[in-house]
Structure 1
Amino acid sequence: MRLGIVVTDDRCAPHAVGLLRAAGARDWPTRCFLTDRGVFLLKDPEFRRLLEEGATHFSLCELSIERYGGDGVSVEGLEDRIIVGGQYQNAELVHNSDRVLVL
Structure 2
Amino acid sequence: MAEKLGIFVNTDRNLRHVIEITKAAERAGKEVILFFSHKGVLLTQETEFQELVGHAQYAVCNVGFEAQGLKGKPVPGMDETGFATQARHGEMIEDCDRYLVM
Q: Same fold (TM over 0.5)?
A: yes
Structure 2 residue 25 is matched with structure 1 residue 13 = no
Could you tell me which runs of 5 or more consecutive residues in structure 2 were left unpaired when the two chains were aligned: none
Give the TM-score normalised by structure 1.
Answer: 0.83
Change (3 A) 1:77 1:14: closer
Structure 2 residue 4 is matched with structure 1 residue 2 = yes
Letter aligned with residue 48 of structure 2: E
Q: Is the 8 A contact 2:23 2:55 kept in 1?
A: no
> Separation in 2 of the partners of 1:78 and 1:84?
12
Q: Deviations over 1:4-63 (max 9, x none)?
A: 000000112121111111111112111000000101111222222212xx2311101000
Letter aligned with residue 67 of structure 1: A
The equivalent of 2:73 in structure 1 is 74
Letter aligned with residue 83 of structure 2: V
Structure 2 residue 62 is matched with structure 1 residue 62 = yes
Give the TM-score normalised by structure 2.
Answer: 0.84
Letter aligned with residue 59 of structure 2: S
Aligned length: 100
Shift of 1:67: 0.8
> Separation in 2 of the partners of 1:49 and 1:10?
16
Q: Percent identity?
A: 27
> Separation in 2 of the partners of 1:102 and 1:50?
17
Could you tell me which runs of 5 or more consecutive residues in structure 1 were left unpaired when the two chains were aligned: none
Q: Is the 8 A contact 2:22 2:55 kept in 1?
A: no
Change (3 A) 1:27 1:87: same
CA RMSD of aligned residues (A): 2.2
> Separation in 2 of the partners of 1:46 and 1:79?
15
More helix by share: 1
**Mapping of 1:15-94 within 5 angstroms?**
15-51=17-53, 54-69=54-69, 74-75=73-74, 78-80=77-79, 83-94=82-93
